[in-house]
A and B are shown apart, each in its own frame.
Chain A
């Protein structure tokens, strides 16, 4: 995988993604953190495009940026002002230590291992993905739809007000 444009795109995306992930970590305001998170999501979808996973890149934007981030924003606005603080607990040092160690170990493994790499474009398109989802992966696919329904109903049940339930049982 080479070429001037692709290389430049990779470095820009890498810088963007990692910097905005750092922004999520560093920003004290929860709303700022979400906005950084959105940029990180967009960066990851850029990587997906670089890795010729067009469909998933678009799905990533639609779901992560269009739905999940918006949900998070909604949740933040619904909880009042005092809860918009994004500071760390006292566990920040151990967490940093653990994170660094994990990154170091994984990076060591990555550069130590002898990956069985091909540079041939596998030609994975949305059609291939679709037929795979509906043939090989049909059971997980159906399970995912059940999961989504369950999550929908579950989320509704959790946030239902107490008095609503009483009103329902009374009527």
Chain B
């Protein structure tokens, strides 16, 4: 399976696992076994943090997002601290650390203190199963897909704790909204990912990357419906626009974060970015071929390919945030239950049938492309049928008001004979 040019030399940076292994072996001579276990884990974590998480969070999540959104909003974005404002995230962090973390008098102090801490832990845990390269994965467990789903259901609890313990009505609103929404969106999300798992026949993320490398294809081309469901579901779980109702600043001030300040708020903010990065990395792994790039991964470091794919996906998050308005909670709920759930179920059924045809008739791998074509047709068909059922016709919907020349009383809307459908 590894038609890989990577050597085992430590300086072969196409696979950072080489370097790591050399360090591990060197430490093994010096320290007792149990300590090496802990030390290497720590070392790996620190390396991972320094190479990926910190720069991504600071420079893609904070700086990049602010610059890009600034660009979209016809303004500069941070450009004062350091060259091009590159030190802005650092300055922000220092400022947040200096600020006092206020606790309202009637708040539940312990839970309010514990919520950001509990919010941080899953954000870091999520990266444990994500493959950055053929051998660059912390825990290559066979159920890493389930692991992702399980871990991503934890921060909801922390958000709820934050909202409830603040003893603020806006916070409570935010907490209720996030709880209601995450329950609703978890279901289509799981079903969408289940379809991916059914087709590739594995629940391991590394296995999915190999599957996509072998065909070779990207899962998004084969299962666009699953991708759509995943994208919408995950942006709802992550509270990104257009589904950021839990901290909707125009309605409930800041939702569950209203009473948070200082570094406690900073932890929420930073870890929101980490979750978004985790979801992006996950999407890059499952739907965009992970670290593989149609053979190019033999020359370009796979981890670089992977990180770039992650950032590209994260850019889509930034993009939607900069452009789309927010939906109302009942619209989001009915969208999850009335549209995403049925579409995910249909997709699961179709994919299961396809998988059955594929394996029981022993067809070649190229048949996957045919499945992809079928699924794309299905997706377009579903959208059209949906539009038909709900008589959705954007052309007939007036987006400009009527114009009259003379003032007078009420002008009734003429809905007959080719008038607008409202």
Which A residues contact B (CB, under 8 angstroms)? 4-5, 29, 31-32, 35, 38, 45, 54-55, 57-59, 61-62, 65-67, 69-71, 73-74, 77, 125-126
Candidates B34, B111, B143, B153; contact of A54 at CB < 8 Å: B143
Cβ contact within 8 Å between A70 and B183: yes
Please provide the chain B residues from 137 to 178 with a CB less than 8 Å away from any CB of chain A in the complex.
141-143, 146-147, 149-151, 153-154, 156-157, 160-161, 164, 172, 175-176
Residues on B with beta carbons closer than 8 Å to the beta carbon of A74: 176, 179-180, 183
Q: In the complex, are the beta carbons of B146 and A59 less than 8 A apart? A: yes
CB of B49 within 8 Å of the partner chain: no
Residues of B within 8 A of A35 (CB): 111, 157, 161
Q: Known interface pairs A5-B37, A61-B150, A77-B176. Does A70 touch B143 (Cβ–Cβ under 8 Å)?
A: no
Q: Do A58 and B153 touch (CB < 8 A)? A: no
B203 within 8 A of A: yes
Q: Is the CB of A55 within 8 A of B146?
A: yes
Q: A4-B34, A73-B160 are in contact. Are A65 and B154 (CB under 8 A)?
A: yes
Q: How distant is the Cα of A66 from the Cα of B182 in the complex, in angstroms?
A: 9
A13 to B409, CA, bound (A): 75
Find out whether the CB atom of B142 lies under 8 angstroms from the CB atom of A126. Answer: yes
Q: Are B161 and A70 in contact (CB under 8 A)?
A: no
13 contacts between A and B (CB under 8 A): A38-B157, A62-B149, A62-B186, A62-B190, A65-B150, A65-B157, A69-B157, A73-B157, A73-B179, A74-B180, A77-B164, A77-B176, A126-B146
Which 6 residue pairs across A and B have the least CB separation, nearest first? Answer: A66-B153, A58-B146, A61-B150, A58-B150, A54-B143, A62-B150
User: Is A67 touching B203 in the complex (CB atoms < 8 A)?
Assistant: no
Contacts of A71 in B (CB 8 A): 183
Q: Is the interface of A mostly helix, strand, loop or mixed?
A: helix
Also in contact, A62 and B146, with CB within 8 A (given A69-B157, A73-B179, A74-B179): yes
Q: Is the CB of B149 within 8 A of A58?
A: yes
The interface residues of chain A lying within 8 Å CB-to-CB of B190 are 62
Instruction: Bits for B297-315, please: 1 = Cβ < 8 Å to A, else 0.
Output: 0000000000000000000
Interface size class of B (residues with CB under 8 A): 20 to 34
Contacts of B180 in A (CB 8 A): 74
Interface residue from A38, A61, A67 paired with B183 (Cβ < 8 Å): A67
Given contacts A38-B157, A62-B146, A70-B157, 5 further A-B contacts (CB under 8 A): A54-B141, A54-B143, A66-B150, A66-B153, A70-B160
Main secondary structure of the interface of B (DSSP, over half): helix
| Assembled-state Cα–Cα distance A73/B159 (Å) | 12
**Which residues B273-318 have CB closer than 8 A to chain A?**
none
Within 8 Å by CB of A67, from B151, B176, B186, lies: B186
Q: Which residues of A contact B157 (CB under 8 A)?
A: 35, 38, 65, 69-70, 73
A65-B157, A73-B160 known; A58-B147 Cβ under 8 A: yes
Residues of A within 8 A of B176 (CB): 74, 77
A24 to chain B, nearest CB (A): 15
CB closest residue in chain A, given B160: A73
A66 near B186: Cβ-Cβ < 8 Å: yes
Could you tell me if A70 and B147 are in contact, using CB atoms closer than 8 angstroms? Answer: no
B-chain residues with CB within 8 Å of residue A45 when the two chains form the complex: 150
Q: Which residues of B have CB within 8 Å of A31?
A: 108, 111, 164
Nearest-neighbour CB distance to chain B for A40, whole angstroms, equals: 13
Contact (Cβ within 8 A) B146 A66: no
Interface contact B182-A70, CB-CB below 8 Å: yes
A29 to B167, CA, bound (A): 14
Residues of A within 8 A of B146 (CB): 54-55, 58-59, 62, 126
Minimum CB–CB distance from A45 to chain B (whole Å) comes to 8
Question: How far apart sit A171 and B108, CA to CA, in the bound complex (Å)?
Answer: 47
CA distance A3 to B381 in the complex (A): 56
CB distance from A115 to the nearest CB of B (A): 29
CA distance A120 to B279 in the complex (A): 38
A32 close to B149 (CB less than 8 A)? no
Q: Shortest Cβ distance from A44 into chain B, in angstroms?
A: 13
A73–B183 CA distance with the chains assembled, in angstroms: 12
